[in-house]
A and B are shown apart, each in its own frame.
Chain A
Amino acid sequence: MNITAWFYFPARLAWRQLIFDRTKLIAATCGVLFACMLVFMQLGFRDSLYASAASAPIKLNGDLFLVHKQSEAMWRSIPFKRSELMRALGNPAVAEVYSLYLALAPFKNIETQVKRTLMVYGFDPDSMIFDIEDIQNKRIELRLKDTVLFDEYSRPEFGPVRPLLEAGRNGTEINDYKVIITGLFRLGISFAADGNVVTSDLNFMRIFPERSLSNIDVGVIRLHPGSSAKQTQAELSGQLNEFVNILTYEELLQHEKDYWANMAPIGFIFGFGTVMGLVVGLVIVYQILFTDITNHRNEFATLKAMGYEHGYFIRVVFASAFFLALLGFIPGYVLSVGLYHLAESQIFMPMPMTFSKVITVFTFILSMCAMAGFLAIHKLKAANPADMF
């Protein structure tokens, strides 16, 4: 049997039957479209969450990173002895080591005086620890007492910092300690922090008097050119105390993402939302296909009496499911692109419409429709040609 007859004819019949009843077609398409958008939004928020979780570490400039073994994520890290980082210098592959200090602290809005929590990063300004030009260019200013740089991508609730700076109003408080904002940079927020501030390690200790230079949150290690991060990591793990984790750059990013994916219930919530969207779509498509088969029962039985085999009708049903998937997906995709842009402009979360996401959602929608077709097919058996005469 040739492929045209095998697939094209049942698909064409499915298509003709679909477009015959426009109202029903629109209803079915809306169902798929709805499921499609729900899944796109859930996956979009989830990926944006993961991406933002790694927004700070992704800019860190190092080959290996030390964190406390019990640190679940950078924003809630557990400090460890700086001497442990210094011991890494004993390895011949290690060129430089730098300390990073982290803390969440209330930041006072210069205009409204309202306090809101953001993330404070403290480090040696000469260390080039962040791969962000605006920070590196300000290392002279950062060495001064009580100076900080403010992340322009912080949420607007922290106040219109750029215009305020241009107007000369640069004084505020972090952790009830008076500081001066000497510049801006761009990093991006995460679910843990609505904003970011960087400062020197010495200023960090002034803002947080209970902290000490000898207890660090992240140790950044840079290797000599040409040395292998993997090999050095293995060597260091034998040399350093077991309470520190030694992570490569990729592992650090993954570590931050994993926190939200596994530890926090948020990963589960988005997964649940995705499944719910698919279930709703499944029910709608199943309902449509099921009533479709019921309505066409006589026609299918007629065709059976003419000599069409059971497989032909299965292909008709699956072709209908495929067309519904396609018809719902295309407008669903277009609307989701619009919603992604809206989300990016309104809540400042990165929501890229990546090709892999498009493929993922389409696969989901396709499997959803195929599943609905599968469930609806058992109804086909009711089309008994003997009842036709």
Chain B
Amino acid sequence: MSAVINVHDLNFSFGSGALTQPVLKNVTISIYKGEIVLMTGPSGSGKTTFLTIIGGLRQAYHGSVVVLDQQLINSNEQVKVKVRQQIGYIFQQHNLLKSLTALQNVCMTLEMQNSMTEQQRLDRAAEMLRAVGLGDRLNYKPDQLSAGQRQRVSIARALVGRPQIVLADEPTASLDKQSGHEAVAILKRLAKESQTTILLVTHDYRILDIADRVVELEDGVIKNA
């Protein structure tokens, strides 16, 4: 099995000089294709920071972070944009565009792909929304949807581009037990169908059962990689 995420001795700190605050210390972890990895750990332990570095959203300078064969340490903007385009994100807050309908929001992922026609985009986005159980809500704006439905639109948006990796930061935090589990189950089913790798940060112990592997980050150190 090949590792799609290969992190070696990653160190990261916020601030500079006397105010330097180390957040990640010698983090080493490999995640393989098709794996579903859950990351837990106390608040402030650096989980979100780790995820943003993997996703090419935050620049790290020490160690080695190879994502989809791209070295992200000291990388330039083009490399990061390329990595971002191959990753699906699910944010803690849904972060949908509030002026767009569910369908249009999901299409935003596909508008970066020039090879598709507009009709193909719409068809695929609608199909994805049906897969997350929102076939009857295609033309609803985010503020006309419930929190659980919005999170499912986010999942559809993250998966519709058939990404290699899905990064999710506490996707169930704003959902109740029922809809939280439902959302993650959908994510798992769709990911398994297409061999997508998932790295999911959560405090929610009710969803640990979907994981292939659970790692714990404590005070910037991986405890059971």
Query: Residues of A with Cβ closer than 8 Å to B?
Result: 1-2, 5, 9, 13, 16-17, 19-21, 298-299, 302-309, 385-386, 388-389
Contact = CB atoms under 8 A, between A and B. Distances in A.
Interface in B137-181: 169
A304 B104 CA distance: 17
A385 B81 CA distance: 11
Contacts of B89: 302, 305-306, 389
B40 interface: no
| In the A-B complex, the 9 residue pairs with the closest CB atoms | A20-B99, A307-B85, A307-B84, A386-B58, A385-B57, A302-B95, A386-B57, A389-B169, A17-B99
B91 interface: yes
B52 A308 contact: no
Given A302-B97, A303-B108, A388 B91 contact: yes
A23 to B, nearest CB: 14
A378 to B, nearest CB: 18
B100 A389 contact: no
Nearest to A1: B114
A388 B97 contact: no
A20 B55 CA distance: 31
B112 A388 contact: no
Contacts of A21: 99
A212 B98 CA distance: 82
Contact of A298 (B82, B95, B104, B112): B95
A302 B93 CA distance: 11
Contacts of B81: 307, 309
A305 B55 contact: yes
B194 interface: no
A305 B97 CA distance: 13
Given A298-B95, A306-B84, A307-B112, A389 B52 contact: yes
B185 interface: no
- Of A13, A17, A305, the most chain B CB neighbours within 10 A belong to A305
A304 B57 CA distance: 9
Interface residue tally on B, bucketed by range: 20 to 34
B75 interface: no
Interface string B42-64: 00000010011001011000000
A260 B48 CA distance: 68
Given A20-B98, A298-B95, A305-B89, A389 B51 contact: yes
B109 interface: yes
B84 A5 contact: no
B91 A16 contact: no
Contacts of A306: 84-85, 89, 108-109, 112
A80 B108 CA distance: 78
Given A305-B55, A385-B57, A389-B55, 9 more contacts: A17-B99, A20-B99, A298-B95, A304-B84, A307-B82, A307-B87, A307-B112, A386-B52, A389-B48
Interface of B: 48, 51-52, 55, 57-58, 81-82, 84-87, 89, 91-92, 95, 97-100, 104, 108-109, 111-112, 114, 169
- Of A17, A302, A389, the most chain B CB neighbours within 10 A belong to A389
A303 B86 CA distance: 13
B207 to A, nearest CB: 18
16 contacts: A5-B112, A13-B100, A21-B99, A298-B95, A299-B97, A302-B91, A303-B108, A305-B55, A306-B84, A306-B89, A307-B81, A386-B58, A389-B48, A389-B55, A389-B92, A389-B169
Contacts of A299: 95, 97-98
Contacts of A307: 81-82, 84-87, 112
A308 B110 CA distance: 11
Nearest to B158: A306
Nearest to A15: B99
Nearest to B59: A386
A299 B98 CA distance: 8
B116 to A, nearest CB: 10
A20 B169 CA distance: 29
Contact of A9 (B58, B86, B111): B111
A5 B121 CA distance: 13
A19 B84 CA distance: 29
Nearest to A2: B114
A21 B111 CA distance: 23
A2 B113 CA distance: 11
Contacts of B92: 389
A345 B8 CA distance: 82
A289 to B, nearest CB: 15
A17 B104 CA distance: 12
A169 B37 CA distance: 105
Contacts of A298: 95
B76 to A, nearest CB: 13
Contacts of A303: 97, 108
A305 B157 CA distance: 12
A388 to B, nearest CB: 6
A7 to B, nearest CB: 12
A10 to B, nearest CB: 9
Contacts of B98: 20, 299
A16 B99 contact: yes
B95 to A, nearest CB: 4
A171 B176 CA distance: 98
A386 to B, nearest CB: 4
Contacts of B169: 389
Contacts of B85: 306-307
A305 B57 contact: yes
B80 to A, nearest CB: 9
Contacts of A308: 112
